[in-house]
Amino acid sequence: MDRKRNTRMGNKYLILLVLAIMVIACKKDKPAPPILEEEIAVVEKPQEVFEFGFKLSDYIVKRDTVKAGESFGQILEQNKIGYPKIFHIAEKTKETYNIARFFQQGKPYTLLFSKDSLELPESFIYQPTKEEYVVINFKDSIHAFKSKKPITYVEKSVTGVITSSISETLDKKGVSAVLTNKLADEIYAWTIDFRRLQKGDRFKVIYFDKYIDDSIYAGIHKVKAAYFEHNKEPFYAFEFETDEDKGIVDYFSEEAKNLRRAFLKAPVKFSRISSRYNLRRRIAVYGYKVRPHKGTDFAAPIGTPIRATANGTVTESRRRGGNGNYVKIRHNATYETQYLHMKKRKAKVGDFVKQGDVIGWVGMTGNTGGPHVCYRFWKNGRQVDPFKQKLPEAKPISDSLKFKYLDFIKPIKYQLDNILFEPEVLENEQPEQTIITQANS
């Protein structure tokens, strides 16, 4: 009986052993399932924002602008600072920046508050300009400092073909009107009359745009070089520093000739000549009698700034008879200029004025039929037509600098010459961006 039971038990174990071997064999035949890699989620940390030298995420930030009649003290009082401390802050920081004196309506400011239950203000930042800012800290010790935001200069180029005016051409391309003024008033004011541009005149300009903190557009910084083709005649202009110590910069041609003249062509910007110098002028109102006109009339809206056409000293600033309000300037022993019919005079007798300085505003005082400035020009005590004078050029580049200048402009001229003129159908395209340079203040 026991033998039979043991035999059956042995058979069962044998069967189980065989089955186990078969299962193991089957598992070896089947390919192992792929091991799935665990997917790991990558969490990107938010980029820290730094401004004015502070990590803004460490504070509660409040931004605003100065309201009309609002003072520095009122803003601090509204933000949990009492007047004894306000007075102490103003006195302690006065030598660094007298904020009470220079606080202006419309200027932005930033307050940084502590990130705790009290939420007390710890720093005040005032921005008198887009670039400059003043930091006043009063968390532990009171102190202040002035600084500037990082400035980026982006080099760009633009070309255009004149259809009516340069301002319209650049406006279609989305370029700031400042570039028009720089070309017309700073660079080519003495060589090209921008009131008489011809259809088909064309230009190329290499200039720098200015950005604050890489994002805030701050306008056109300067023109590096330009080429203007007027009446089929080429006019190159290259910026060059002639005195590094004094920072004197001027524009010269490809032959090192100074583009500037001792006198501007006109005392007002973008005006038209309504009456020229004419010693045989006859006027119907006076029975067509000869009444010489010894000035050149530039028509312009009332209030248009009138500029001194050259450096000099104001010898007269008064109102008299048909001249109305006028200013007269002596430039040297040879030349004098006079500006008539002003609405208001700015320059006073004895003032030394520089070329381009505003000396008054266009009006209709004295004998005048419309708003304009009558520009009169004296040479050796006699009134003459300024447009028929061979006026002196500005100081030429020195011989010692000439070779340095010619070497300096070689790569720039190559760059300028290789900028292709765009077809007129592309005039709405944005200017080409070429180089980015960084400058930190």
Check residue 428 and give its pLDDT.
Answer: 45
b/e 286-317 (16+ beta carbons within 10 angstroms → b): eeeeeeebbbbbbbbeeebbbbbbbbbebeeb
Q: Which of 61-70, 163-172, 259-268, 346-355 has the lowest mean pLDDT?
A: 259-268
Please give the structure tokens belonging to residue 28.
């070896």
Write out pLDDT tens, residues 131-143: 899 999 988 888 8
Q: How many Cα atoms within 13 Å fall on the side-chain side of residue 204?
A: 20
Measured at the alpha carbon of residue 426, what is the angle toward residues 422 and 432, in degrees to the nearest 5? 65
Write out pLDDT tens, residues 351-373: 988 888 999 999 999 988 889 99
Write out pLDDT tens, residues 382-431: 999 888 887 776 777 888 889 999 999 999 999 999 998 876 444 444 55
Answer whether residue 232 shows pLDDT above 90.
no
Q: Which of 55-64, 285-294, 356-365 has the lowest mean pLDDT?
A: 285-294
Answer whether residue 321 shows pLDDT above 50.
yes
- Taking a C-beta distance cutoff of 8 angstroms, is the pair 355, 308 a contact? yes
Question: What is d(CA 409, CA 146) in angstroms, rounded to the nearest whole number?
Answer: 37
289 vs 432, residue with greater confidence: 289
Answer whether residue 193 shows pLDDT above 90.
no
412 vs 54, residue with greater confidence: 412
Check residue 13 and give its pLDDT.
Answer: 60
Answer whether residue 119 shows pLDDT above 50.
yes
All structural domains of the chain: 50-148 (3.10.450.350), 152-261+395-439 (3.10.450.350), 272-388 (2.70.70.10)
Helices (H), 284-428: 399-417
Check residue 265 and give its pLDDT.
Answer: 80
DSSP for 68-132, written as a single string: TT--HHHHHHHTT--HHHHHHHHHHHTTT--HHHH--TT-EEEEEE-SSSS--EEEEEE-SSSSE
Over residues 16-21, the mean pLDDT reads 60
Answer whether residue 346 shows pLDDT above 70.
yes
* Residue that is written with structure tokens 């110098």 in the block: 277
Check residue 224 and give its pLDDT.
Answer: 95
DSSP for 283-325, written as a single string: EGGGTTEE--B-SEEEE--TT-EEE-SS-EEEEEEEEEGGGEE
5 vs 295, residue with greater confidence: 295
